[in-house]
Structure 1
């Protein structure tokens, strides 16, 4: 009788441990996306002979890349998550002299690279339970640190269309859908086997499910790995000392910070030797 009672107790304890482990694993982890985006050269600036020019214009050098590749991760724990990107935290500006060529001086052109720290650090957190995006921006100027926070609902695609096609991505069964964003048609593959809703392109968040692959003619994301692992809850929580402001106020602060940054870049740009 005692042996049977002990066996039942042990079985109950093991079942409880297994349930707890499954709950912890299912509630936290990391999704790694490999991304690609075509460069919008109309938004870029270069300096040639002290003058700002647009890449692709008549005075701009040739050989600039057409696309950028990057890695983006979603780290999640419970009802909160955080996006992490591998994009560089500093910015580079190239100044050219002579004929505006780079990597040689066949026409007397010379170039020099230099780097300055970006004017702010921006992070994105997600309130998965309430389907909110939480943007946090930290600005450090003259050793003074200011942290701002704004919230906005996660949008849903207005013309989401499901199909009956499925395929496996990173071990998960995904359903195919299409939607339009900024006049572009996107092909979307999403799974409902994860316990939350998310898309690496916020404006194309599905009604339910996690997007593991999404692509258009100008950008793409594909989940290369999904790891269910313990993630400390405080690592995906926005900082408690952030000042709450509206999205419009944050955009105004961001624009002013970028304008100040460009002004400093121009004034600190090293002088180019001339032949």
Structure 2
């Protein structure tokens, strides 16, 4: 009886230790990496060839444009602050080579030219206060202006949970569905992390971290979660940013893009302005 009691006591200590370890194993800083796929909406695409807007699928449009793009998105977090990092293809425009004409010569074939937007936009998250903070740096004539705009972290609409579960990146995830832009999404989220987040802001759950999203037009899947020390300064918005509204930021962004396109058109052959 004494030996049995000692065995039970040791087993109880092991169980208590295991439970404590599980509760404290949640990473407080690290990186979640998502691989994403998105289908192009060709009706919304625009290209420019020789100064003229061209719709994809028209006789003048180049062939071989992809229907789907792939990209990587990361969430770097430390405590209740985080920052999204995106590796997405840059905008592209089509222009003809120098000396092009309409003769159909091979030299007149369009070539792609990468366009780097005249601004850099980053998204920070104050997960403790459920806020998204957009920071935009606009560069014009080597002068930089930094703006920030805050907005509440949205919550998915028509959120429906399910009893189904599966493991993603080592975490038990629960299945849910939600609607975004009249499209139904299947969402897998875990409650085993100490914050709430979704790589698609409009599909943020009431509680938990989304590790996979699927729909007919796009998908995201967490391919790994690495824990490790993250300097909190790296995930906090810059202190010198000027606070404006989201509407004002959108107006500044549109104006910067319009000015940039005009400068690009002016520099193209045949424009008469270069």
Question: What is the TM-score normalised by the length of structure 2?
Answer: 0.84
CA deviation map 1:76-105 (0-9, x unaligned): 0001000001125x543211456799xx93
Q: Does the 8 A contact of 1:29 with 1:230 survive in 2?
A: yes
Cα distance in 2 for residues equivalent to 1:99 and 1:43: 27
> What are the Cα deviations for residues 206-231 of structure 1, in whole angstroms up to 9, with x where unaligned?
00000000011001000000001110
Paired with 2:34 and 2:140, the residues of 1 have a C-alpha distance of: 33
Aligned to 1:184: 183
Q: Retained in 2: the 8 A contact 1:49–1:98?
A: no
Aligned residues: 248
Q: Which moved more, 1:137-146 or 1:35-44?
A: 35-44
Which residue in 1 is equivalent to 2:84? 83
1:35 aligned to 2:36?
A: yes
Per the alignment, do residues 249 and 196 of structure 1 end up closer, same or farther by CA in structure 2, a change over 3 Å counting? same
- Aligned CA RMSD, in angstroms, stands at 2.4
Find out whether 1:92 has 2:97 as its counterpart.
no
1:130: which partner in 2? 129
Tell whether the 8 Å contact from 1:98 to 1:110 is kept in structure 2 after alignment. Answer: no
SS across alignment from 1:160: strand
Aligned to 2:162: 163
Q: Residues of 2 paired with 1:123 and 1:110: CA distance?
A: 36
1:258 is paired with a residue whose SS is helix
Structure 2 contact 92–115 (Cα < 8 Å) conserved: yes
| Secondary structure in structure 1 of the residue aligned to 2:222 | strand
Query: Residue 12 of structure 1 corresponds to which residue in structure 2?
Result: none
Judge which range, 203-212 or 33-42, deviates more.
33-42
Distance in 1, Cα, partners of 2:102 & 2:215? 37
1:117, distance to aligned residue in structure 2 (A): 3.1
Q: Give the 5 Å matches for 1:24-63.
A: 26-63=27-64
TM superposition shift of 1:201 = 0.6
Helix, strand or coil for the counterpart of 2:239? coil
1:110: how far off?
1.5
> Following the alignment from structure 1 to structure 2, what is the Cα–Cα distance between the partners of residues 193 and 241?
35
Q: Which residue of 2 aligns with 1:7?
A: none
Superposed CA deviations along residues 173-224 of structure 1, whole A, max 9, x for unmatched, are 0000000000100000000000000000100100000000001100100000
- Is the contact between residue 192 and residue 208 of structure 1 (CA under 8 Å) also seen in structure 2? yes
Which residue in 2 is equivalent to 1:231? 230
Equivalent residues in 2 for 1:212-223, closer than 5 Å: 212-223=211-222
Structure 1 residues 98, 183: closer, same or farther in 2, change over 3 A? farther
> Could you tell me how far 1:112 is from its partner in structure 2?
3.0
Range with greater deviation from structure 2 (42-51 or 179-188): 42-51
Q: Per-residue CA shift, 1:243-275, capped at 9, x if unaligned?
A: 000000001101111111111111112459xxx
Q: Residues 109-148 of structure 1 correspond to what in structure 2 (within 5 A)?
A: 109-148=108-147
**How big is the shift at 1:172?**
0.3
Partner Cα separation in structure 2 for residue 100 and residue 115 of structure 1 = 26
**Following the alignment from structure 2 to structure 1, what is the Cα–Cα distance between the partners of residues 232 and 154?**
25
